[in-house]
């Protein structure tokens, strides 16, 4: 037993190669048995991919079976495996699908078709107007018919009323309708009905123009004879309704006979429901003027009168005007029936017992004492007395104008009325600024009851942050102790502020340092502040009664002013050329001779001082900033010499 165990142990301890055990990719070192616990992970392993069989090589699916080992080569001649040609690497432009490129883009056409009517003696055909929608995303289309009142035909866009549902419509000769088949003036056949396209909207016209398709002008749609006949009959009935269809409320004889036969008094009144259904949401609007200038503190005031046709009520609104001094009261006269006689309001509650009313034999109040305003009492140019106030009707709106022209045959023209009197009102003067605080803060306390923080241009502050124009300056004075003083003036582009600094000088007896704190400064004898256009070489500025002459600028300031010629005209070469060109043409020969005489070396260039002297001798005194701009432009070699040939070319 002992021998067998030792034999087995010796067999297990036979040195073996490192093998992989389990799914953890563990390896067993040589000399150890393949028992649990003897495996260790390989710290040098970097590829943790799972083995696979299927792969894609050069666009072709292939299979790699790791269990299949390739046979060894039998002989010197080895058969090489076939090689595949490389896939093309040309750049392919991605094409956007139609349902993305044309999403929510619809072509809209107006069209109509004739429908035969065989079983009616009033009409032989009918014109039916439709709207055709063509969806570019899937080439589908649908046709809808606008709703017509009392047509008896299912119309509109609701479910079940669409004339033709959305789908791709086939042609009679094969294929489907596309964009090229739709255009103004063309006829299309949709399931046996022939439509004539008469118009298209602006988007459709622009889209088809981009495709190179000419869209014709809009065509007129023939009128439907039956619809026109119905419209004429309706207008005739409205004009002659009182004569052809008399009612109890309109005819005194019929109302008297019905009352003698015992008819109810409510039936003898006009039909309120019919009036409401016919004239609901139809309002007449008149513009009134009340001249109350005869009374104390009276004036000419505008009003608006609304007359509701549905129930014969009216209201008067007061037109609110700015700075009128009146409370914005909404109504001048509440909506209701307005009596012509002011005393009638006292008799409304007890009409049969009040002694001031005239009562007829039927026990009713005399209509003359309780008459109310109707639509026939109003006309443009007429004066009406409403509650003891006389109003002049000087205008109306378009609906009111058309209504009176159709019903009464009257044409109204507006009357010009001037309400605002040309009187000069005293203006409030802005008080002078008193320190401390900025002037904008004091102005806010003057303009508003509750002061507001002055608004700043943060965008400009961000764009021009740390952008500063620097100039050397001296005092413009005759005092000998101030003539040698030098100052540095800074202009901050972020907020249009400026500051002055005096560099200390030895043995001058004047302490240098901050001369003017950073702030905004106004121009002398003006309410305007200094801007960046006021700062250039040679300019004279005045700060707190001190006059400064700017005689030098740094390179950054000169470059910035040349890059922004709109704000700095003295650095604008175009503006300078426009001003110098006439003078240079006149004195070109004299200047050319002077420049050539000064150019001893015949280099075609002269120095700055020579150029300035030649211009001064010929009565051409230029500003210092203009000279600097010209010298910087024509100093091509940057050696201090100006090409006078290029300078004289400005005259051309």
Report the C-alpha gap between 143 and 418 in whole angstroms.
53
Residues 281-303: pLDDT tens digits?
Answer: 999 999 999 998 888 888 889 99
pLDDT tens digits for 74-125? 555 555 656 655 655 555 667 778 888 888 899 999 999 999 888 888 888 8
Q: Which residues of 40-56 are buried (b: 16+ CB within 10 A; e: fewer)?
A: eeeeeeeeeeeeeeeee
Query: What is d(CA 15, CA 30) in angstroms, rounded to the nearest whole number?
Result: 6
Name the band, by pLDDT with cuts 50, 70 and 90, for residue 350.
Answer: very low
Angle 511-516-519 from CA coordinates, rounded to 5°:
160
Domain match, 579 and 644 both:
yes
Check whether residue 550 and residue 618 sit in a common domain: no
| Last residue in a domain, options 569, 598, 628 | 569
pTM of the model: 0.40
**Residue 340 binned pLDDT confidence (cut-offs 50, 70, 90):** confident
Least confident of 41-45, 206-210, 306-310, 545-549: 41-45
Does 442 map to a domain?
A: no
57 domain-assigned: no
Contact 370, 342 (CB under 8 A): no
Asked if residue 563 belongs to a domain, the reply is yes
Q: Residues 256, 392: one domain?
A: yes
The answer to whether residues 558 and 593 belong to one domain is no
Q: Which backbone phi and psi does 238 adopt, to 5 degrees?
A: -65, -35
Whether residue 312 is found in the same domain as residue 366: yes
Q: Is residue 61 part of a domain?
A: no
Between 649 and 190, the more confident residue is: 190
Within a domain: residue 438? no
Asked if residue 551 and residue 609 are part of one domain, the reply reads no
Domain containing residue 346? 252-407
Number of helices and strands (H, E) in the chain? 17, 25
- Contact between residue 2 and residue 8 where contact means Cβ atoms under 8 Å apart: no
561 located within any domain: yes
Find the CATH number of the domain harbouring 621. 1.10.238.10
Predicted local confidence at residue 273, as pLDDT: 79
Residue 59, pLDDT > 80, answer no
Same domain, 361 and 309: yes
Radius of gyration of the chain (CA): 49
Instruction: Assign residue 159 the CATH number of its domain.
Output: 2.30.29.170
Say whether pLDDT at 591 is over 80.
yes
Does any domain span residue 264? yes
Backbone angles phi, psi at 133, to 5 degrees: -110, 125
Domain count, the chain: 5
The percentage of residues in the chain with a pLDDT greater than 90, rounded to a whole number, is 32
DSSP secondary structure letter of residue 554: -
> What distance in Å separates the CA atoms of residue 289 and residue 127, rounded to the nearest whole number?
48
What is the arithmetic mean of pLDDT over 619-630? 84
> How crowded is the C-beta side of 604, counted as CA atoms within 13 Å?
9
- Whether residues 134 and 180 share a domain: the answer is yes
Q: How far apart are CA 632 and CA 494, in angstroms?
A: 27
What kind and span of H or E run contains 276?
Answer: helix 272-279
Q: What is the pLDDT of residues 446-488, one digit of tens each?
A: 888 888 888 888 998 999 998 999 999 999 988 888 888 999 9
Give me the pLDDT at residue 93, please: 64
- Is the predicted pLDDT of residue 507 greater than 80, yes or no? yes
- What is the average pLDDT across 400-406? 94
289 shares a domain with 369? yes
Please check whether residues 106 and 183 belong to one and the same domain: yes
> Do 394 and 262 belong to one domain?
yes
Whether residue 387 contacts residue 338, with contact meaning beta carbons closer than 8 Å, is answered with yes
**Per the domain annotation, does 16 fall within a domain?**
yes
User: Do 391 and 535 belong to one domain?
Assistant: no
Cα distance between residue 33 and residue 590, in whole Å: 113
Q: How far is CA 454 from CA 347, 443, 460, 492, 520, in A?
A: 62, 9, 15, 19, 14
Q: Where are the alpha helices (DSSP H) in 464-587?
A: 555-563, 573-586
Residue 268: its pLDDT value, please?
A: 66
Mean pLDDT of 188-205: 93
């Amino acid at each position: 037993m002992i021998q067998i165990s030792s034999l087995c142990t010796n067999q297990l301890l036979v040195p073996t190669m490192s093998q992989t055990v389990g799914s953890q990719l563990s390896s067993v070192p040589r000399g150890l048995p393949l028992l649990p616990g003897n495996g260790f992970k390989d710290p040098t392993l970097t590829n943790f991919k799972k083995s696979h069989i299927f792969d894609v090589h050069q666009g072709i699916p292939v299979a790699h079976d790791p269990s299949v080992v390739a046979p060894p080569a039998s002989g010197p001649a080895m058969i090489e495996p076939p090689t595949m040609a490389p896939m093309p690497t040309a750049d392919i432009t991605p094409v956007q699908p139609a349902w993305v490129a044309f999403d929510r883009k619809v072509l809209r056409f107006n069209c109509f078709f004739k429908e035969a009517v065989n079983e009616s003696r009033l009409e032989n055909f009918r014109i039916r107007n439709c709207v055709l929608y063509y969806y570019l995303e899937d080439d589908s289309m649908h046709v809808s018919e606008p709703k017509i009142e009392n047509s008896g035909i299912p119309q509109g866009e609701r479910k079940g009323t669409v004339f033709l549902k959305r789908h791709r419509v086939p042609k009679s000769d094969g294929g489907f309708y596309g964009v090229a088949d739709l255009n103004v003036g063309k006829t299309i056949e949709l399931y046996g009905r022939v439509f004539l396209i008469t118009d298209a909207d602006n988007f459709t016209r622009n889209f088809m123009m981009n495709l190179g398709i000419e869209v014709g002008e809009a065509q007129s749609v023939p009128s439907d004879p039956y619809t026109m006949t119905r419209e004429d009959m309706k207008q005739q009935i409205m004009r002659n309704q009182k004569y052809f269809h008399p009612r109890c409320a309109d005819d005194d004889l019929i109302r008297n006979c019905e009352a003698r036969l015992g008819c109810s008094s409510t039936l003898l009144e006009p039909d309120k429901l019919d009036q409401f259904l016919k004239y609901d949401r139809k309002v007449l609007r008149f513009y009134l003027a009340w001249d109350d200038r005869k009374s104390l503190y009276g004036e000419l005031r505008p009003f608006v009168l609304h007359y509701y046709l549905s129930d014969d009520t009216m209201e008067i609104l007061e037109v609110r005007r700015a700075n009128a001094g009146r409370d914005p009261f909404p109504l001048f006269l509440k909506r209701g029936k307005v009596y012509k006689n002011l005393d009638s309001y006292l008799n409304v509650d007890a009409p049969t017992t009040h002694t001031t009313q005239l009562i007829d034999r039927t026990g009713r109040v005399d209509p003359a004492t309780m008459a109310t305003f109707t639509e026939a009492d109003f006309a443009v140019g007429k004066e009406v007395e409403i509650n003891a106030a006389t109003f002049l009707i000087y205008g109306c709106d378009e609906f009111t104008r058309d209504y009176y022209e159709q019903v009464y045959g009257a044409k109204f023209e507006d009357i010009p009325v001037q309400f605002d009197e040309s009187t000069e009102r005293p203006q409030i003067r802005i008080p002078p600024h008193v320190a401390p605080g900025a002037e904008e803060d004091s102005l806010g306390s003057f303009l508003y009851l509750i002061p507001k923080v002055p608004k700043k241009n943060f965008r400009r502050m961000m764009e021009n942050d740390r952008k500063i124009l620097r100039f050397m300056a001296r005092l413009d004075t005759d005092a000998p102790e101030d003539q040698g003083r030098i100052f540095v003036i800074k202009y901050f582009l972020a907020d249009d502020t400026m500051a002055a600094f005096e560099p200390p000088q030895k043995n001058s007896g004047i302490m240098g340092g901050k001369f003017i704190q950073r702030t905004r400064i106004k121009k002398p004898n003006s309410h305007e502040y200094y801007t960046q256009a006021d700062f250039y070489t040679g300019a004279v500025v005045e700060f707190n009664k001190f006059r400064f002459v700017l005689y030098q600028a740094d390179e950054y300031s000169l470059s910035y002013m040349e890059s922004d010629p709109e704000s700095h005209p003295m650095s604008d070469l175009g503006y300078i050329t426009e001003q110098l060109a006439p003078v240079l043409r006149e004195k070109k020969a004299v200047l050319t001779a002077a420049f050539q005489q000064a150019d001893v070396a015949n280099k075609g260039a002269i120095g700055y001082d020579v150029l300035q002297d030649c211009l001064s001798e010929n009565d051409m005194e230029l500003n210092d900033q203009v000279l600097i701009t010209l010298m910087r432009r024509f100093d091509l070699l940057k050696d201090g010499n100006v090409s006078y040939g290029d300078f004289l070319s400005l005259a051309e």
